[in-house]
Amino acid sequence: MAIILPDEPTPIAKVPSTENKTGGWRTFRPIINYEKCIRCYICWKFCPEPAIEFDSPDAHPVAKPQLAKFDSVKINYDYCKGCGICANECPVNAIEMILEEKLEED
Protein backbone atom coordinates (compact mmCIF):
# COMPACT_ATOMS: atom_id res chain seq x y z
CA MET A 1 0.00 0.00 0.00
CA ALA A 2 1.41 3.35 -0.94
CA ILE A 3 1.90 5.79 1.90
CA ILE A 4 0.33 9.16 1.17
CA LEU A 5 2.12 11.96 2.97
CA PRO A 6 0.25 15.19 3.62
CA ASP A 7 1.71 18.34 2.05
CA GLU A 8 2.74 19.54 5.48
CA PRO A 9 3.54 16.68 7.86
CA THR A 10 3.56 19.01 10.87
CA PRO A 11 1.81 22.33 11.28
CA ILE A 12 4.17 25.17 10.32
CA ALA A 13 3.61 28.68 11.67
CA LYS A 14 4.03 31.09 8.79
CA VAL A 15 2.38 34.36 9.79
CA PRO A 16 5.00 36.83 11.08
CA SER A 17 4.39 38.25 14.53
CA THR A 18 4.69 41.75 13.07
CA GLU A 19 0.93 41.45 12.49
CA ASN A 20 0.45 41.78 16.25
CA LYS A 21 0.50 45.48 16.99
CA THR A 22 1.68 45.18 20.58
CA GLY A 23 1.86 48.97 20.95
CA GLY A 24 -1.67 48.74 22.36
CA TRP A 25 -0.22 47.27 25.58
CA ARG A 26 1.60 50.50 26.37
CA THR A 27 0.90 52.57 29.48
CA PHE A 28 3.89 54.90 29.27
CA ARG A 29 5.13 56.28 25.97
CA PRO A 30 8.87 56.89 25.52
CA ILE A 31 9.55 60.24 23.86
CA ILE A 32 13.05 61.02 22.54
CA ASN A 33 14.37 64.51 23.20
CA TYR A 34 16.51 65.02 20.09
CA GLU A 35 18.10 68.11 21.62
CA LYS A 36 19.84 65.76 24.07
CA CYS A 37 20.30 62.55 22.02
CA ILE A 38 23.98 61.75 21.36
CA ARG A 39 23.19 58.92 18.88
CA CYS A 40 25.03 56.25 20.84
CA TYR A 41 22.39 53.58 19.98
CA ILE A 42 22.34 52.13 23.50
CA CYS A 43 18.52 52.26 23.43
CA TRP A 44 18.60 50.20 20.23
CA LYS A 45 21.02 47.73 21.80
CA PHE A 46 18.80 47.01 24.82
CA CYS A 47 15.31 47.14 23.25
CA PRO A 48 13.69 43.74 23.91
CA GLU A 49 11.08 44.24 21.19
CA PRO A 50 13.02 45.46 19.05
CA ALA A 51 11.02 48.63 18.38
CA ILE A 52 13.82 51.16 17.91
CA GLU A 53 14.67 51.86 14.30
CA PHE A 54 17.22 53.95 12.44
CA ASP A 55 16.32 57.09 10.57
CA SER A 56 18.29 59.33 8.23
CA PRO A 57 20.78 61.71 9.93
CA ASP A 58 18.77 64.83 9.10
CA ALA A 59 15.30 63.47 9.95
CA HIS A 60 15.47 64.88 13.47
CA PRO A 61 17.22 67.80 15.19
CA VAL A 62 20.85 67.25 16.22
CA ALA A 63 22.26 67.95 19.69
CA LYS A 64 25.80 68.74 18.48
CA PRO A 65 26.99 69.56 14.94
CA GLN A 66 29.62 66.79 14.99
CA LEU A 67 26.81 64.21 15.37
CA ALA A 68 25.12 65.31 12.13
CA LYS A 69 26.77 62.56 10.06
CA PHE A 70 25.35 59.77 12.28
CA ASP A 71 21.94 58.18 11.73
CA SER A 72 19.21 59.20 14.15
CA VAL A 73 16.89 56.80 15.95
CA LYS A 74 13.11 56.68 16.16
CA ILE A 75 10.67 54.53 18.09
CA ASN A 76 8.15 52.36 16.30
CA TYR A 77 5.04 52.93 18.43
CA ASP A 78 3.21 50.10 16.65
CA TYR A 79 5.27 47.63 18.67
CA CYS A 80 6.77 49.50 21.64
CA LYS A 81 5.21 48.07 24.81
CA GLY A 82 6.56 50.90 26.94
CA CYS A 83 8.81 48.88 29.25
CA GLY A 84 11.12 51.86 29.71
CA ILE A 85 14.49 50.07 29.46
CA CYS A 86 15.59 52.64 26.85
CA ALA A 87 14.82 55.54 29.19
CA ASN A 88 16.56 53.80 32.09
CA GLU A 89 19.72 52.95 30.12
CA CYS A 90 20.04 56.24 28.19
CA PRO A 91 23.36 57.82 29.34
CA VAL A 92 22.13 61.39 28.78
CA ASN A 93 18.51 60.95 29.92
CA ALA A 94 17.19 61.90 26.50
CA ILE A 95 14.16 59.61 26.70
CA GLU A 96 11.19 60.50 28.85
CA MET A 97 8.34 58.14 29.76
CA ILE A 98 4.98 59.93 29.58
CA LEU A 99 1.61 58.48 30.56
CA GLU A 100 -0.39 57.72 27.41
CA GLU A 101 -3.62 59.23 28.79
CA LYS A 102 -1.83 62.47 29.46
CA LEU A 103 -0.68 62.61 25.84
CA GLU A 104 -4.23 61.99 24.62
CA GLU A 105 -5.52 64.87 26.72
CA ASP A 106 -3.04 67.32 25.22
Partner 1 sequence: MRHLPIPEEEYMLPGHTACLGCGATLVMRYLLKALGKNTILSIPACCWAVIPGVYPRRALEVPLLYTAFEVTGAAISGIKEALNAMGKEDVNVVGFAGDGGTADIGIQALSGAVERGHDVFYIMYDNEAYMNTGIQRSGSTPMGAWTTTTPGGKKRMYKWEPKKNMAEIMVAHKIPYVATATIAYPEDFIKKLKKAKEIKGPKFFQVFSPCPTGWRVPPNKSVEVSKMAVLSKAFPLYEVEHGKYRITVKPKKFVPMKDYLKMQGRFRHLTEEEIERIQEEVDRNWEELLLKEKITQGETHEI
Q: Smaller CB distance to partner 1: residue 2 or 14?
A: 14
Task: Fill in the amino acid letter for 10.
Answer: T
Angle at 10 (CA atoms; ends 6, 15), nearest 5 degrees: 110
Q: Which residues contact 106 (CB under 8 A, 6 or more apart)?
A: none
Positions touching partner 1 (CB under 8 A) are 11-22, 25, 39, 41, 44-46, 48-51, 54, 57, 69-71, 76, 78-79, 81-85, 87-89, 97
Shortest Å distance, C-beta 4 to partner 1? 23
Q: Smaller CB distance to partner 1: residue 34 or 46?
A: 46
DSSP 8-state class, residue 17: G
